[in-house]
A and B are shown apart, each in its own frame.
Chain A
Amino acid sequence: MHPRFVLITALAACLVAGGIRTPAPADTLTVYSGRSKSFMDALLDRFEQESGHTVRRVYDKTAAVALKLQTEGDRSPADVVLAQDAGALGALSRAGLLAPLPAPLTATVDERFVSNRGDWVATSLRARTLAYSTERVSANALPQSVFELTDEKYAGRVGFAPANASFQAFITAMRAAHGEDTARAWLLAMKRNGVQSFPKNTAILEGIAAGEIDLGLPNHYYLLRFTEKDPGFPVAQTGFADGDIGNLVNVAGAAVLNTSRQPEAARQLVAFLLSAPGQAWFVDQIHEHPVSRDAAAPVRGAPALNLNAIDDLNGTLTLLREVGLL
């Protein structure tokens, strides 16, 4: 054989062999995070410093993390899962993958934001909101309910993100609060009214700024990231009337996996997220709402809904496919 050929092959073989990992040391905690690396990495670093545990991190979208954990089943190397949707946590709970959390820990959080089975707990809250163009929409003439967006005067002016997990949770909540038929009718009426589909929350806000739409339905904290850096960004946001389902408050939460070999350290991480420094992080850096009873003022205008009620994601996906939005 030609020497150069042998060299290349040997080099490649070495590179591959070098990649086989040594197993993680025993005091290492593996976290599957459906929350973005952008906002969780520094917080997990801080937990490492305070607790002395090393945290291995696998980041992905919340739905994908849930799918991963279900595929892995009893083989999962994960100790803790972080998700930003009660629906995903509910699905993991129903699949029997989560271990019960100690009652003193869950008691620090309002029961609407704790799993019925006591196996997941909210760590922060995120609100749905109405974003609008400051140039083309008068702040006095805003709709009072998400159901008003089907009105003719909003034809072709509204955008939402049907593939986005937070939007899907909002539809699940609408189904739970108003019934399947109302939700279907609203989606169909929105379609007839020329609603525009965007791939994600940030795209909705950029669409408003660019003049493609005038109003949109994103989560509340995205706009703050735009205006923080560009005060002239021509978009503002508000809520609907108190209690409207369009003001849904969803959770970002945490749970310990049944398969964890270090449940003690895993619970320590969950407790850290609920502690004062953890809560301060979510509020100050990510602009979310706190969840622990000490820190939390109820989010203004939120509908009174137990978050356990929004765990039927598959029903929502089926509905979105049925009406042709997915």
Chain B
Amino acid sequence: MKSAFCRTATPLRPPAPWIRLLPDRATLPAWAAGLGVLVPLCFLLVAGFTGDGAAVRETVLRPRTFAVIGRTLGLAAAVLAATTALALPAAFLVVRTDLRLRRLLSVLLVLPLAVPGYLLAFALLSVGGRYGASARLTGFELPRLQGFTGSLIALTLYNFPYLFLTFRTALRRLDPTLHEAARALGHGPWRAFRAAELPQLRPAFLAGGLIVVLHVLGDFGVVSLMRYETFSVLLYGSLSFAPAYAAWIALMMLGTAGGFIVLEVVLLRGRRFDPAAPGAGRLPRPVALGPAGPFLLLALLGLLAVAVGLPLATSTYWAFQPVLGFVNRGLTDPALASLTVSLPTAVLATVLAVPIARLAVRRRRAGASVSQGLERLAYAGYATPGLAFGLALTAMALTLDRLFVSAGQTLLYQSLPLMIYAYVLHFLAEAIGPVRTAFQQINPRLEEAARTLGRGRVAAFCRVTLPLLRPGIAASAALVFLSAMKELPLAVLLRPAGYDTLAFNLWDLTGEGLYAEAAPFALVILVLSAGFVAVVLLADKSNITKTK
């Protein structure tokens, strides 16, 4: 182990950029994740280019497609703005002020992620309109949400925690000396925040914002229920017996998502976010809110009431409505199915995310700005719509099965490992964001010091860096688990026979209008998700208080 220290001395002249693109020990996880997505996508490309090219081009390149692109981008921009406007103040209130209940709120504000988008949209829809809950309970008819506004509200309500989490991690890790220096230079508290701290939140904004934008691009449940046509509605509508058209739409979605990923790299280029001096683990003195405190607390609780309380209340209401006896089914098998895919996914995605996030942060300082782009290979899976990725993996698994088992038998196809593989690569990007944000705020000299003191590469990382990463790792695992519990298209396409997850059952029953029968599944998803988040984030908090 000690000899490794000598070998890694920085070379005098960095090698040419293309050499740094080649896989080596550090970039291997990124390459594996990227290729793990891109290779199956080749099957999609093949599907896109076989079939009647001219006819497909005509349907793909019509004005309507471009109108839909415009509408999708508009919605993504609006959701990004709205989620930021909610998440940044919420994170600041929870981390930097004397707000009451801030400990509890810091966990509760993540909970909207546990709510499947289609469930939230359904709950919002059932409130308004002539026959809505509001009109029937109070006699006052609220307008029924739909279209752009409806999609914007629903998507904002369950996506803002992505930004809240990254902002929260960033604010906690922010070096208080920055703020103090700005104050010492004569800035007021607000200007000091804007000048010294806000720019430091940029990586958190970009990491969380990218996830939000990609989520909007890929969302189908909310926009279809709200009747707002985006790219993914076009894709689902194109699922026909001739897959070439679907492949093209999927590839165009991929291109759009890829554009955002590149944009994030460009916006992050050439900046430093690690604390200036080591050992700055303390938090600055909390801002006193004074009389505004109770109002801000009420506002946050109101937000939670809509984002979590409403779907919970709707599900609970339906859970007590009469059911068709023969449709009832056990909750145990679906819950086990959901857990046996979601837990490994959360663990594997987080384990894979650590070396990839490290790559972006650390290698850059060694002079290899190219490798930062490599990290974005890992976003390929998230940028690929679930339906497209599922179709591509189906084709790949069938081809591989051909090599190993006789016809009619399956090995990879419809197997749990393939499903987990798909989940891990699809949700990897969610795991990278928080870990990367945490990395960017750890001074590399800490680890270098450990190396100087004779620790090996791995030992130094595990003893010094890993404990500092823990909040980021906890957030990553929580995010992936929540998404995996809700995931639908990949589950529908890739699950083994009889392996029906909670989300699948919820979808199947609501599709038939059997809301009372579906409600218990919604409740179990909410409870399991909330439980996991609470466990992970509470563990993280005890860690914070210890190191403080």
A187 within 8 A of B: no
Instruction: Specify which chain B residues have a CB less than 8 angstroms from the CB of A163 in the assembled complex.
Output: 233, 236-237
Is the beta-carbon distance between B241 and A70 smaller than 8 angstroms? yes
Contact pick for A58, options B146, B237, B497, B508, CB 8 Å: B497
Given contacts A37-B500, A67-B239, A67-B243, contact A212 B146 (CB under 8 A): yes
B374 within 8 A of A: no
The interface size bin for chain B is: 35 or more
A138 within 8 A of B: no
Given contacts A38-B509, A199-B224, contact A16 B417 (CB under 8 A): yes
Interface residues of A in 189-205 (CB under 8 A from B): 196-203, 205
How many angstroms from the CA of A58 to the CA of B277 in the assembled complex? 58
Please name the residue on chain A nearest to B509 by beta carbon: A38
The interface size bin for chain A is: 35 or more
Instruction: Specify which chain B residues have a CB less than 8 angstroms from the CB of A222 in the assembled complex.
Output: 512-513
| Binary contact readout A1-23 vs B (1 if CB under 8 angstroms, 0 otherwise) | 11011001101100110011101
Is the beta-carbon distance between B238 and A72 smaller than 8 angstroms? no
Is the beta-carbon distance between A225 and B514 smaller than 8 angstroms? yes
Is the beta-carbon distance between A313 and B327 smaller than 8 angstroms? no
Secondary structure of the A side of the interface?
Answer: helix
Given contacts A197-B227, A199-B225, A222-B513, contact A317 B415 (CB under 8 A): no
Please name the residue on chain A nearest to B64 by beta carbon: A324
Instruction: Specify which chain A residues have a CB less than 8 angstroms from the CB of B125 in the assembled complex.
Output: 206, 210
Please name the residue on chain A nearest to B130 by beta carbon: A211
Is the beta-carbon distance between B240 and A21 smaller than 8 angstroms? no
Of the stretches B186-194, B306-314, B401-409, B535-543, the one at the interface is B401-409
Is the beta-carbon distance between B237 and A326 smaller than 8 angstroms? yes
Instruction: Specify which chain B residues have a CB less than 8 angstroms from the CB of A243 in the assembled complex.
Output: none
B128 within 8 A of A: yes
Interface residues of B in 222-237 (CB under 8 A from A): 224-225, 227, 233-234, 236-237
Contact pick for B241, options A91, A198, A199, CB 8 Å: A91
Interface residues of B in 115-148 (CB under 8 A from A): 125, 128-132, 144, 146
How many angstroms from the CA of A206 to the CA of B512 in the assembled complex? 13
A209 within 8 A of B: yes
Is the beta-carbon distance between B351 and A313 smaller than 8 angstroms? no
Tell me which of A57, A68, A226, A326 has the highest count of chain B C-beta atoms within 10 A of its own C-beta: A326
How many angstroms from the CA of A206 to the CA of B239 in the assembled complex? 25
Is the beta-carbon distance between A20 and B417 smaller than 8 angstroms? yes
Instruction: Specify which chain B residues have a CB less than 8 angstroms from the CB of A202 in the assembled complex.
Output: 510-513
How many angstroms from the CA of A63 to the CA of B64 in the assembled complex? 24
Of the stretches B19-27, B341-349, B425-433, the one at the interface is B341-349
A300 within 8 A of B: no
A122 within 8 A of B: no
Is the beta-carbon distance between A63 and B466 smaller than 8 angstroms? no
Is the beta-carbon distance between A209 and B130 smaller than 8 angstroms? yes
Contact pick for B408, options A56, A76, A326, CB 8 Å: A76
Given contacts A63-B240, A163-B236, A203-B225, contact A210 B512 (CB under 8 A): no
